[in-house]
Amino acid sequence: MGRGIRLTEEQRDELDRLRFRTPSACVFRNCLIVLMSDAGETIPAIARRLGTATATVVRVRRLYRQGGIEALQPVKPPGRPCRATPAFVARMKEAVRTNPRDLGYGFSTWSSARLAAHLAKVTGIRYSVDQLRRLLHRHGFSVHRPKHTLKGKRDEAAYEKAKKQLAVLKKTP
Domain boundaries, the chain: 9-72, 86-138
Q: What is the pLDDT of residue 1?
A: 44
Cα–Cα distance, 135 to 112 (Å, whole number) = 11
Q: Give the sign of the dihedral formed by CA 34, CA 38, CA 44, CA 48.
A: negative
Amino acid letter for position 158: A
**Does the model's pTM come out above 0.95?**
no
Q: Identify the residue with better confidence: 82 or 28.
A: 28
3-state secondary structure 78-132: CCCCCCCCHHHHHHHHHHHCCCHHHHCCCCCCCCHHHHHHHHHHHHCCCCCHHHH
Segment 100-108 mean pLDDT:
90
pLDDT band at 146 (very low <50, low <70, confident <90, very high): low
Segment 70-95 mean pLDDT:
87
The mean pLDDT of the chain is: 89
